[in-house]
Amino acid sequence: TLSRSWFRLVLTFMELLETSSTPSALMQPHIMMLPPPCFTVRTMIHCGGPGQMGYANTQQKAAGIHTRLYSRAFIIDDGTRRVVFVTADVGMISQRLRLEVLQALQEKYGDQYRQDNVVLSGTHTHCGPGGYFQYTLFMISSSGYIKASVQPLVNGIVKSIDRAHQNMRPGRIYRNRGELDHSSINRSPHSYMNNPEDERLRYKDNTDKQVLVLKFTDLDGDGIGMLSWFAVHAVSMNYTNRLVSSDNMGYASYLLEQDKNPGELPGQVRAAWTEPSSELQSDISNILKHFLVYDTVQRTVSSACLCQTKMCAAFGPGDDMFESTRIIGQNIYMKAKELYATAVEEVTGSVQSAHQWVNMTDVSVPINSSHTVSTCKPALGHSFAAGTTDGGGDLNFTQGAVEGDPFWDGIAGALLGRPSNETKECHRPKPILFNTGEMNTPVPWHPQIVDVQILTVGSVAVVALVSIELTTTIIIIIIIIITAVQVIIQLILIPLKHYS
């Protein structure tokens, strides 16, 4: 533990995408329900432009802008070691994007910012640019690798770190947590109920409602910024949307920054308040009010679609996706602001970081004292094709499927190759639809070796895993993660039990 309780830190952000001052010709009056000014993005304004990342919808081409996208950088230095946490308004951080950012940082700063002490996190908006991946599965819907998307992302993330690097000053960190209701639901309740009853009884709800806040101040107690985590999918802007948007998490950040930086323009504020993506998101969506069924305008509160699944789109609490974005973002903002104001538990101690590449196809996981299992190559099942309440899939696949379909299995096998017996046995009882872990043409379809990272600041540990979504009660995945984290924590000699 340090003899002093303060850290050198700074928080700042930079707009991700190069913009012009021309208002979007595609804006409609009700879009102005969100206060941020709307501008065209030169790399993304035209119809038929780059695909958006999130819904895997090949028709979701960017055609205007709803809210700007930002990168916010947080640097913490204890006098000996330094860590960087960046949260960017994108769907996720790809390995390729991360490596390009690290290369740019190495050219500027040498070994000061490295793969072990720089964490990049996406807010998980489903309405940002695509085209910055190196795996086929993620490139299909965005029409491949798009340099016009990648370079602005790299430039914006690096610029936010540059600004933070140039403005380091002594400060303190405080932690607080609470719960936020009426802002999230389980987006696959049918699948959730397939978890064993004794497992479900361990939890009060079928979603994680905790909000965790880290409050940053200078030595005089004046606010510098805040990091706040809340487990909700950034899908208030549903899959019918064609506008670039930071969604509910980005709007919450905007509200916090306008509150704490009165009179400042977005992107020009003195401090950053932000909502990075949470660790438990994949089964938690923005709160559902109804489905809109396009052919009949029929509404239902059921978690199942009553017609062709692609004809249904889930809505949040508002009358449209713009109002839902505002409501959910406002709820997150208000709770984070409350926790920020009442945060008194100071975070003290040293700063540590570690990184390791993990082959996720070959991890041995002890289930108990007598039983050990092993991971295997990735594959997508029939339930993947069913989608969720945020937006259904094609061809009426259903959630929770444990049996395949000879017709679709035959077509997928003939076109893409059949899974090996080893892979089928490993994934059982999940029926495999797309055997992505064994598909390598034109490039590998699915990552197998992934980044595993941890940053520790005093008693706070941030675990970073590239492009992964967890459900509330998938214990086997949690065990895998804990196993990987224990390995890298051993590298920095910090007991896991001391961290939260």
Name the residues annotated as catalytic: 285
The angle at the Cα of 249, spanning 180 to 16, to the nearest 5 degrees, equals: 160
Q: For residues 457, 461, 467 and 471, what is the CA-based torsion angle, rounded to 10 degrees?
A: -150
Tokens linked to 149: 């998307």
378, with CB counted inside 10 A (0-12, 13-18, 19+), is buried
Q: Cβ distance 463 to 415 under 8 Å? A: no
Q: Cβ distance 98 to 116 under 8 Å? A: no
Beta strands in 180-302 (DSSP E): 185-186, 210-218, 223-230, 272-274, 284-285, 290-293
Contacts of residue 39, defined as CB under 8 A and 6 or more positions apart, other chains included, come to 19, 20, 21, 22, 23, 24, 65, 68
279 assigned binding-site residue:
no
46 assigned binding-site residue:
no
Q: Cβ distance 227 to 276 under 8 Å? A: yes
Tokens linked to 431: 């029926």
Give backbone dihedrals phi and psi of 391, rounded to 5 degrees, phi first.
170, 120
Over its C-alpha atoms, the chain yields an Rg (Å, rounded) of 22
Q: Cβ distance 234 to 257 under 8 Å? A: no
Tokens linked to 72: 């916010």
The angle at the Cα of 258, spanning 255 to 259, to the nearest 5 degrees, equals: 85
66 assigned binding-site residue:
no
Tokens linked to 125: 């908006």
In DSSP terms, which residues pair with 381 in a beta bridge?
432
Contacts of residue 106, defined as CB under 8 A and 6 or more positions apart, other chains included, come to 113, 114
Tokens linked to 281: 């998101």
- Residue 287's CB: how many other CB atoms inside 10 A? 21
Classify the phi-psi angles of 485: left when phi > 0, otherwise alpha if psi is within -120 to 50, otherwise beta: alpha
Q: For residues 399, 313, 128 and 102, what is the CA-based torsion angle, rounded to 10 degrees?
A: -10
How far is Cα 478 from Cα 468, in angstroms, rounded to an integer? 12
Q: Cβ distance 69 to 128 under 8 Å? A: yes
Question: 38: which DSSP letter?
Answer: -
Give backbone dihedrals phi and psi of 65, rounded to 5 degrees, phi first.
-135, 135
Residue for token digits 């970081």? 353
Residues forming the annotated binding site for Zn(2+)?
Answer: 124, 233, 469
